[in-house]
Amino acid sequence: MAIAREPYGFVHADSGRLKETYGGPAGQVFVECMRIRPEDRDADTVIIFSHPIGGGSFLPLVTSLAHAGHHVIYCNPRYRGNDTALIMEKCVLDLGACIADAKKRFGYEKVVLGGWSGGGSLSLFYQDQAENPTITETPAGDPADLAGAGLIPADAILLLAAHVSRSHTMTEWMDPSILDEDRPFERNTELNIYDPACPNQPPYTPEFVAQFRAAQVARNRRITDRVLAQLAEIKAGPDPDAERCFVVQGTMSDVRWLDPLQDPSDRTPGTCYLGDPKIANDGPVGLGRFTTLRSWLSQWSYDKSRADGTGNASRITCPVLVISNSADLACTPSQAQRLFDAVGSEDKQMVTIKGADHYYIERPDLLPQAVKQVSDWTGARRLYRPVA
């Protein structure tokens, strides 16, 4: 089926006094979108994908869904390609503006949120606030009126190779051997799984895994305490809107990467979705490598971030489909199971695509299985008309 790609964008108002994006006038935000659809097939339902840093309009699954007859929009929030100063609450506002615009611009009656990878927890955060609007400020105390934004609830959610949240995933990947953020390369050998001298080697004991996980949470909390103290000092000073940037080393250390018995799946041991996890641990593209005080609280803090996939999932009522890929090097099976178990809706389903990797790049032959699962599930809920 031939498809058309239609790039477009729109501007929506932003009443926040703080600006975290490059360029553009104050008080406005530009949202860039791509509509991918069959050339000769109308639809009253659209699948809207979004991700905190966008950039997924050419994902194999997104394109394959359009080839199967679905209308798809990929929405890039204001932080496209750069999460250094990202605020999750503002990603929700951008996604909400995209949904409202799509209904008005194209006449869609129903919306399914496509939560792929990090877009899964964003979709759940959005739906939670659309159904139960409560938030009026960020975790840093800056205005972000989700409660008054008139967010339109989606009719269903697809969680596709999704992780539980940026904050919890970051924590589960943090290097717990870093005990002092000012001396990040002086590491505790006992917890440094990439150090050949580490006395704990795979297969890891349950006792070591528990110690490792507790130390990861403790490190995240130490950074959060430090951020809160610095932010309080700034807000008490003459420039309360000032910001500070900082580096977080060691954010790709997880016992799952080296021990295949941890969260067993079909993934290849010794690898992660960024390649060699030892290199990615301190490399420039690791999660949260460059961040700000306000952004840390909103997207990376274990305790302060409101974009908590399982917590958000527990409060939503719309139908949810969870698709897990058994060879995923980023979002392992337990993440999909945790999301599924947390979903509060009575209408929920989970399926696993055996052998599929995170992007379907290594196994493109498995894409039809994923597309069929989405098509059958949405079709059963009158959210898709099967291709004749």
pLDDT band at 319 (very low <50, low <70, confident <90, very high): very high
The structure tokens 């895994």 sit at 209
Domains and CATH numbers, the chain: 3-165+305-380 (3.40.50.1820), 169-300 (no CATH)
Give mean pLDDT, residues 28-36. Answer: 95
User: Does pLDDT of 32 surpass 80?
Assistant: yes
Say what the pLDDT of residue 18 is.
Answer: 81
Amino acid found at 119: G
User: Does pLDDT of 388 surpass 60?
Assistant: no
Say what the pLDDT of residue 5 is.
Answer: 98
CA–CA dist 78, 94 (Å, integer): 7
- Tell me the DSSP string of 130-178: HHS----B-TTS-B--STTTTPPPPSEEEEES--S-HHHHHHHHS-TTB
Say what the pLDDT of residue 304 is.
Answer: 98
Of 114, 130, 116, 118, nearest to 46 by C-alpha is 114
Say what the pLDDT of residue 156 is.
Answer: 98
Tell me the pLDDT tens digit for each residue of 205-239: 999 999 999 999 999 999 999 999 999 999 999 99
Tell me the pLDDT tens digit for each residue of 263-317: 999 999 999 999 999 999 999 999 999 999 999 999 999 999 999 999 999 999 9
pLDDT band at 387 (very low <50, low <70, confident <90, very high): low
Tokens of 41: 């097939």
Spatial neighbors of 108 by CB under 8 A, at least 6 apart, are 43, 44, 45, 46, 71, 102
- Tell me the DSSP string of 87-119: -HHHHHHHHHHHHHHHHHHH---EEEEEEETTH
pLDDT band at 16 (very low <50, low <70, confident <90, very high): confident
User: Does pLDDT of 102 surpass 60?
Assistant: yes
The four Cα atoms 215, 216, 218, 220 give a dihedral, to 10 degrees, of 160
Tell me the pLDDT tens digit for each residue of 153-167: 999 999 999 999 999
CA–CA dist 36, 64 (Å, integer): 10
Q: At what angle do helices 88-106 and 119-131 cross, to 10 degrees?
A: 80
The string over 35-56, giving b where at least 16 C-beta atoms fall within 10 Å of a residue's C-beta and e elsewhere, is: bbbbeeeebebbbbbbbbbbeb
What's the chain's average pLDDT? 96
CB atoms within 10 A of CB 62: 21
CA–CA dist 288, 284 (Å, integer): 10
User: Does pLDDT of 1 surpass 90?
Assistant: no
What percent of the chain stands above pLDDT 70?
Answer: 99
Contact 114, 72 (CB under 8 A): yes
Q: Which helix (H) or strand (E) holds 369?
A: helix 367-380
Give mean pLDDT, residues 40-58. Answer: 96
